[in-house]
Structure 1
Amino acid sequence: MMAVMKSWREEGYEIFLWGEETKEPVPVIWCHIFSREEGEKIWCRITEPCIFACVSGRDWNRDFSPWKAEKIYGKSTDFSGGAGEYMQYFEHVILPEAEHALSFEVKDRGMVGYSMAGLFAVYAMYHSEKFGRIGSISGSLWFDGWADYALSHTMKAEKPVIYVSLGSREHKVRNARMASVKKNTELLAAHWKKACPVILESNPGGHFDDPEGRVARGVSRLLTSNKALY
C-alpha cells in the first residue's frame, strides 16, 4: 500500500503518483506536500480508490500566494504572489506530463491542500476549469484580500464539489491576520454553497494537529461525495 506507483524529479521538485495500475478511469487527486513521507502517510489513510498525485519541493510562500503580502513569521519570507505563474506551469507542464504516465484518460480531477496549499486549491478553481473536486484543509483563507477576491469573482470550475475543514482552535492565535481564518472560512463556505456542493467540517485542535489525517479525510470525503445528492 505504501509503495509509490511512479515518481520522478523535475527542476527542483518531485512528482509522486500513488495508486494501483488500472486501465479503468479513477479520480486523480492532486496535492502539494513537503515530502514523500508526508504523501505516504496521507495515501495510507485514504479510504476510496483514486490516484493520489503529489508535488513536493515548491516554494509555498511564492507559488501558492495569489499576490504579494507581508510575511507572517519573523523568520519566514514575504509572500511574493507567484500563484498565477505557477498555475500556468502546473496546468500546462506538470499536469499533462503526469497524466501521460497513467494508463487511462483522466476524466475526474481534484486538487486538495493544507495551509497555503489549501489556499492554492481554491485559487485553482477560480483560474482553471480542470478540477471538479476541491479540498482546502486548514487552508490559509485568512490571506490578505482573498475573501474579497473570492466573493467578487466567478469560478472557472463548473460546480465543483468543495471540502473545507478547519481546526477548532486555529483562529485562537495572537496574529490578527491569521485569527480571521474562521470567519473567512465560514463566510466563503456559505458563499460557495449557493452555487455548488460544499462540505464544511471542524477538526479538534490547532493548525498543526494531524495534518496528514485531516488531508486524508478530506480526500476520502470528496471521493464519496456525489454531486447528484446536492
Structure 2
Amino acid sequence: MTLSINNEFDWEGIQVKISLPSNYDPNQTYPAILLNDGNLDFLSSLSESVILVGLTSKNRLDDYTPWKAAALRDGAPDFGGQAKVYHDHLFGGLLDKLQSLYRLDEARLAYGGYSLGGLAAVYSLFSFDKVSCVFSICGSFWYPDFVTYCKEENVENLDCLLYLQNGQTEGVNHTNRLAQAPVYAEQIHTSLQKCYPNGQFVFDPYGHHEQVDERFLAFSSWLAQKWKIK
C-alpha cells in the first residue's frame, strides 16, 4: 500500500513527509510515529489511525550515529557521529512545529527506525524524553562502543514503551564487526531489559535485510495493542 503524502517540508536539513489519516479531523487528537529514513509505507497498517511522519536525513551516516567511527570497509565514508545534533533539531524544534500544525496526542508519540535509524532511536533514550515509545528494528547495535555506552550511561526516557527486534542471522557472510551483530544485539537487549521490564525484546530467525515488511507489521500490531488503536 502506497500512502498519500499530505505535507512535505525541510527542517534543518531533515526532509519531513507527513501522512494523515484519510478522515483526519482537526478537532481531535491523534497518535503519531516519527520514522527515520522516511519509508512510511512500512507503517501503512496504522495509517487510518495515526499521523505518520517520515524523517529523511541529509546524511544518515552522520545523523544516525552517536559518535565518530571509522568506516567498516575501505572506500566507504566514515561515520560522522552527529545524532545528538540531529535529535536537537528533531526534539528541540521539529516536534514543536508538528504540534503547531496537527493535534498530536502527547501520550502516544513514537520514534524509531530500521538499522542505523534504530540505533539513533535507542541512543535518544539516554538524552531525550519527548516521546512515549521508542522502537528499533534490526538496530545497528554492532556500532563501536555502543554496548559499553548502554551499560554505563543512565537512561533519560525511562517512562516510555520500548520495542527492540533483531535477527539471529544478521551479519552472516561478513568478516568485520557485522559478523557479530547478533551478539552485540543480545547484549543491548539484556542491558535495556533491566530498565524496561515491560518492553518487547524480540529475536527473529532472519538476516538484516530480510522480511522487513513482516517485521514492521509485527511492531505495528504490538503498538496498536499498547495504544489501544482499533
TM range (shorter): 0.7 to 0.9
How far apart, CA to CA, are the structure 1 residues paired with 2:52 and 2:181? 27
After TM superposition, the structure 1 stretch with the greater mean CA deviation from structure 2, 1-10 or 162-171, is: 1-10
Question: Residues 74, 208 of structure 1: CA spacing in aligned structure 2 closer, same or farther, 3 A cutoff?
Answer: farther
8 Å contact kept, 1:142–1:181: yes
Cα deviations by residue, 1:31-75 (Å, 9 ceiling, x for unpaired): 1115xxx32x21323488322211114311101111111112334
Is residue 18–residue 43 contact of structure 1 (8 Å, CA) maintained in 2?
A: no
Output the CA distance in 2 between the equivalents of 1:182 and 1:114: 15
Partner of 2:37: 33
The answer to whether residue 117 in structure 2 is matched with residue 113 in structure 1 is: no
Note if contact 1:17-1:53 (Cα within 8 Å) is conserved in structure 2.
yes
Q: Distance in 1 between matches of 2:202 and 2:47?
A: 18
Q: Please list the CA deviations of residues 6-50 of structure 1 after superposition, one character each: whole Å capped at 9, or x if unmatched.
A: 22234544211223223333321111115xxx32x2132348832
**Unaligned ranges ≥5, structure 1:** none
- 8 Å CA contact 1:62–1:83 kept in 2: the answer is yes
CA deviation profile, 1:173-209 (whole Å, cap 9, x unmatched): 3233112321222222222222222212233431112
Q: TM-score, normalised by structure 1?
A: 0.86
The equivalent residue for 1:8 is: 9
Instruction: Give the superposition deviation at 1:224.
Output: 1.9
Alignment root-mean-square deviation, CA: 2.4
User: Following TM superposition, where does structure 1 have runs of at least 4 consecutive aligned residues deviating by more than 4 angstroms?
Assistant: none
Q: Any stretches of 5+ residues in structure 2 without a counterpart?
A: none
1:92 aligned counterpart, secondary structure: helix
1:176-191 → structure 2 map (5 Å cutoff): 176-191=176-191
Q: Name the SS for the 1:97 alignment partner.
A: helix
Alignment partner, residue 83 of structure 2: 83
Deviation string 1:111-167 (CA, Å, 9 cap, x unpaired) is 111010100010111110112211110000110000100111111112321111112
Shift of 1:169: 1.4
Identity across matched positions, percent: 21
SS at match of 1:107: strand
Higher deviation after alignment, 46-55 or 162-171: 46-55
Q: Distance in 2 between matches of 1:202 and 1:169?
A: 10
Task: For residue 29 of structure 1, give the secondary structure of its aligned residue in structure 2.
Answer: strand
Return the alpha-carbon distance in structure 1 between the equivalents of residues 173 and 144 of structure 2: 16
Secondary structure of the 1:208 match is coil
Equivalent in the alignment of 1:167: 167
- Give the distance between the partners of 1:116 and 1:50, measured in 2 at CA: 24
How many residue pairs match? The answer is 223
In 1, Cα distance between equivalents of 2:180 and 2:167: 13
The answer (yes or no) to whether the contact 1:167–1:205 under 8 Å persists in 2 is yes
Counterpart amino acid of 1:86?
Answer: Y
Provide the rounded CA distance (Å) in 2 between the counterparts of 1:68 and 1:205. 29
Q: Is the 8 A contact 2:5 2:19 kept in 1?
A: yes
